[in-house]
Structure 1
Amino acid sequence: MKDTDTIVNIINKLPKGYVFTYEDFMHEVKSKQAAVKALNRMVASGKIAKLSKGKYFKPEQSVFGTLAPEQYQVVKDLLEDNNKLIGYLTGLSVYNQLGLTTQVSNTIQIGKNEVRPAFKRAHYKIAFIRQKNTITKDSIPLLQLLDAIKYIKKIPDTTVAKACLRFMAILKEKSAEDIKTIIRLALKYPPSTRALLGAMLEQLGYTEHLQTLKASLNPITTYKIEDLEQIVHTTNNWNIV
């Protein structure tokens, strides 16, 4: 079978919006040049679309034209390495998914242990947030929540009070084990994040492990997070002003 036919057969089996490179075909074709030429011919014919240099995707059409791939597909090479998690979507990338804002951003933020300068990929800006905790599949939803609490003042199209209401609704649905884990993970976040998390958990009636959070804070330091008094009544216990 010709290299082009082999590549076409593989792509036909891929789901719409799937992002790939020539490297995905190297076990099936004879050379890099053959794969690149075949892919570029398919781009020219409209069978596939080009995301950025060396990256292609299987397009899905709508009444508005070609749909962009999901954000995970756009940056999946930055999130996994040989099936090992090395990063996760966070920040602006997930505020909408968490129900914190209705806005959708063209900036994709990624949490990683080792960060790099921001760069452009297609029409997206790819930016990075340093994560000091070990990244695991189970910890990612909790890290995403902690990141949002950390950057509460930067969440677009909402207020601090509304964001806290949403945070508490999310926390209320977490299991006791998840709450224990999120408190442990929070110990590697800034003091203001720990204080706000503690105040919200106390407001929700949690008592277990809160002393761990309280003990991690300087008792004479205050944290300025305005407009919380009507929503979170425990702010004074956590030196939030």
Structure 2
Amino acid sequence: MGLVIEEVTILREVGIDFSLEDILATPPLSKWRKSRNSRDQLEAAVERIRPEVERELNPRAIYRGVPTETSGIHAYSPPAPVTKAEFVGNIVVTPGELEYGNEHAEGMFDDFVRDAIENVAVQRLSAVVGQRFRDEANERGYNTTRLFAPGSGIENWPLENRRYVFDSLPCEEIGVRLTDAGQVEPNKTVSCVIGFGPDIEQAPGLVSCEGCSKLPDCPYAGARDAIAANT
């Protein structure tokens, strides 16, 4: 069944591409791989750690589209493209609990590699669920904006605004919550919004680093674009 306004969609299983080559082709791993001194060590670490992360992944998502005027999002200074849309989609995705097992760890290098692998999984999960939402909106004749995640740096929408997304969805249905202190559990859970409607311009892509204030110093620059190209 496609997108129904005001109806919650829960995805208890989400398939993502998590192959070795796909991970190595995504920043920051693709950038680290360019170093001759660390390439072999990096590839060996990814090959060793990837299966461990994959076993722990339990990707889930929840989303709902609501009329923008009655959504309550205006109180959270949302990105301009969203306010111009007739509807707003609220989306939360989680990779599940990712617990680092130290039995195969080989120091701080492995810690960095594992964190990067987990982040690739989260980025890909967001892209897959976002694309599903876009496809369902398109089936109804609606165009969509890009995805906007509080705290991402794009449009300078502060992280604390994720409270809006979490309050708009029954996130406990997928085992996710935002604590009173503003921390998400599980800790790599991502929230985002997307504007959609019949009278807005279709964004060329769902995810992009364009416009992010963190871009010059971000080791993950280009990750969103690399993932979008393969989604």
Shorter chain as denominator, the TM-score bin is under 0.3
TM-score by length of 1: 0.26
Structure scoring higher RCO (CA < 8 A, sep ≥ 6) equals 2
TM-score by length of 2: 0.27
